Amino acid sequence: MAASTTPPSTPPSTASSTAAFWADAERHLVRYGGAFTREIIDRAEGSFLFTADGRKLLDFTSGQMSAILGHSHPQIVATVQQQVATLDHLFSGMLSRPVVDLARRLADTLPAPLEKALLLTTGAESNEAALRMAKLVTGKHEIVSFARSWHGMTQAAASATYSAGRKGYGPGAPGNFALPVPNTYRPDFTTEEGTLDWQRQLDFGFDLIDAQSTGSLAACLVEPILSSGGIIEPPPGYFAALLEKCRERGMLLILDEAQTGLCRTGTWYAFERDGVVPDILTLSKTLGAGLPLAAVITNAEIEQEAYERGFLFFTTHVADPLVAAVGNTVLDVLTDDKLDERARSLGAFLHAGLTDIAGRHPVVGDVRGRGLLAGLEFVTGPEARGSSSELGARVTRRCLELGLHMNIVQLPGMGGTLRIAPPLTSTEEELSLGLTILDQAISDTSATL
């Protein structure tokens, strides 16, 4: 049968009605994660989004927790324009200067012995590659992750994800185990003083894992701060103890710094606080500042063993020069503008504002996080700490009405936690605006309960 010669329909003009836009969206788009935000985003600049009907929205999520330099940063724009005009994509076995430069520069930001990088596209892909490497090198297949984790939607990454998306898709990869989350606000194992006894919790978790394991524990894949899990930061000392558990069992420690890496928490990497060095580090989101760029970074010994065993991760966009050039520009801006220091100072400003809000609203149970990654959890009352996910959803909607884009984490038994991650280029004035809108949204919503 001959191919149709009928040209595609003419794209709708900018004068097309909002109703027609949403009708087309509902007819032609696959829904991939709940309802779409009912705004047509026309452009973005700095810390703000601009809608087709003229509204200005303050972006407190950095897009998908990625645009750490804000939107349309002039140096990123210039890099994309120059690079796409000279060298954008290559056969996957070819190399270019931006790729080798980025690998070297990433190694320079990290403690020894992390020095070998694989450049990919998304966080799921980087975790997939890290898990594949760990399984090949250890000769084992079992993976341990936090029970509130999010590592991606591809097979191995999704099998290590427990916060959402596990129901209805059939069996995941065999040999995946969930480790209890060390949540200091909602402790399950407690000391005599009522605080979290994380060491006893960790021992208990691995006792269960050891009982279920077939003797094939390959790696532990965890986030230094659980983001989709509700901005939960394990207490100091936890990761050193976790690394020891891994060493006792011949497991590799993989840290997923998709959202915490590259200055977001006030240091270049969140794991720096704990004095541990992972066997494998995965980066994404923040590395491309909104463009699809990810990395797997490991040491020479693991890379050599993987190579000798025939490690294969030959993908369409591995080592692409266009996004690698963007990654180099991201490192330039982070370094030149000292955005790690800026994240610390702005983070303290943001945390103080959120703490002030919490002190005036009994429905705010906890404020937590580090640097410019913050969480604010809603509860039914200051003592009960019961789930208040509906309140969180209402506050999020009211924020949007008032001109602030927020993200709410709603997990069973955890209430609703706002995930706050403004760009590192934000100003105190912009953070103050966001805090003011949030304060009003909580007041407006609480009054309707």
With respect to residue 17, please indicate whether it lies within any of the assigned structural domains.
no
Query: Considering Cα of 338, then 339, then 344, then 348, what sign does the dihedral take?
Result: positive
Rounded to 5 degrees, φ, ψ at 437 are -65, -45
Looking at residue 275, the DSSP 8-state letter turns out to be: T
Assign residue 243 the CATH number of its domain: 3.40.640.10
The pTM of this model reads: 0.94
Regarding whether 142 and 47 lie in a shared domain, the answer is no
CA gyration radius, the chain = 23
Looking at residue 226, the DSSP 8-state letter turns out to be: B
Give per-residue burial for 305-335: e unless 16+ CB within 10 Å, then b: bbeeeebebeeebbbbbbbbbbbbbbbebbe
With respect to residue 133, please indicate whether it lies within any of the assigned structural domains.
yes
Q: What is the pLDDT of residue 11?
A: 53
Rounded CA-CA distance 391/240 in Å is: 37
Regarding whether 158 and 193 lie in a shared domain, the answer is yes
Rounded CA-CA distance 284/290 in Å is: 9
User: Which residues contact residue 249 at a Cβ distance below 8 angstroms, ignoring those fewer than 6 apart?
Assistant: 210, 217
**Closest to 209 in 3D by CA, of 273, 144, 118:** 144
Assign residue 386 the CATH number of its domain: 3.90.1150.10
3-state secondary structure of 114: strand
Burial of 74 (0-12, 13-18, 19+ CB in 10 A): exposed
With respect to residue 5, please indicate whether it lies within any of the assigned structural domains.
no
User: Which residues contact residue 91 at a Cβ distance below 8 angstroms, ignoring those fewer than 6 apart?
Assistant: none
Rounded CA-CA distance 171/75 in Å is: 45
Domain boundary among 282, 306, 336: 336
Regarding whether 217 and 200 lie in a shared domain, the answer is yes
Rounded CA-CA distance 260/258 in Å is: 6
266 neighbors 349 (Cβ within 8 angstroms):
no
Regarding whether 63 and 172 lie in a shared domain, the answer is no
Regarding whether 227 and 169 lie in a shared domain, the answer is yes
Regarding whether 155 and 280 lie in a shared domain, the answer is yes
Q: Mean pLDDT, consecutive 10-residue segments, the chain of 449 residues?
A: 49 68 96 91 98 97 97 98 98 98 98 98 98 98 97 96 93 96 96 97 98 98 96 97 98 98 98 97 98 98 98 98 98 98 98 98 95 94 68 93 92 78 98 98 89
Residue numbers annotated as active site: 150, 223, 256, 259, 285, 419
326 neighbors 291 (Cβ within 8 angstroms):
yes
Regarding whether 57 and 130 lie in a shared domain, the answer is no
Regarding whether 410 and 380 lie in a shared domain, the answer is yes
3-state secondary structure of 401: helix
Q: What is the pLDDT of residue 34?
A: 83
Whose tokens are 């980087």? That residue is: 126
> What are the residue ranges of helices labelled H in 89-237?
97-108, 123-138, 155-159, 198-212
Domain boundary among 336, 366, 394: 336
Q: Longest C-alpha distance within the chain, in Å?
A: 78
Q: What is the pLDDT of residue 15?
A: 47
Whose tokens are 């970074």? That residue is: 297
Whose tokens are 């897009």? That residue is: 63
Regarding whether 118 and 52 lie in a shared domain, the answer is no
Q: What is the pLDDT of residue 390?
A: 84
With respect to residue 31, please indicate whether it lies within any of the assigned structural domains.
no
CB 289: neighbour CB atoms within 10 A? 28
3-state secondary structure of 363: coil
Domain residues for the domain of 384 are 38-67+338-446
With respect to residue 14, please indicate whether it lies within any of the assigned structural domains.
no
Domain boundary among 309, 336, 363: 336
Query: Considering Cα of 263, then 269, then 270, then 272, what sign does the dihedral take?
Result: negative
3-state secondary structure of 59: strand
User: Which residues contact residue 238 at a Cβ distance below 8 angstroms, ignoring those fewer than 6 apart?
Assistant: 182, 198, 202, 274
10: left (phi over 0), alpha (psi -120 to 50) or beta: beta
144 neighbors 221 (Cβ within 8 angstroms):
yes
Q: How close are the terminal C-alpha atoms of the chain, in Å?
A: 62
Regarding whether 360 and 216 lie in a shared domain, the answer is no
> What are the residue ranges of helices labelled H in 255-380?
300-308, 321-336, 339-360
Regarding whether 286 and 387 lie in a shared domain, the answer is no
With respect to residue 192, please indicate whether it lies within any of the assigned structural domains.
yes
Rounded CA-CA distance 178/208 in Å is: 10
Regarding whether 194 and 96 lie in a shared domain, the answer is yes
With respect to residue 4, please indicate whether it lies within any of the assigned structural domains.
no
Domain total for the chain? 2
Q: Which helix (H) or strand (E) holds 43?
A: strand 41-45
Peptide bond into 113 cis (omega under 30): yes
Rounded to 5 degrees, φ, ψ at 34 are 85, -165
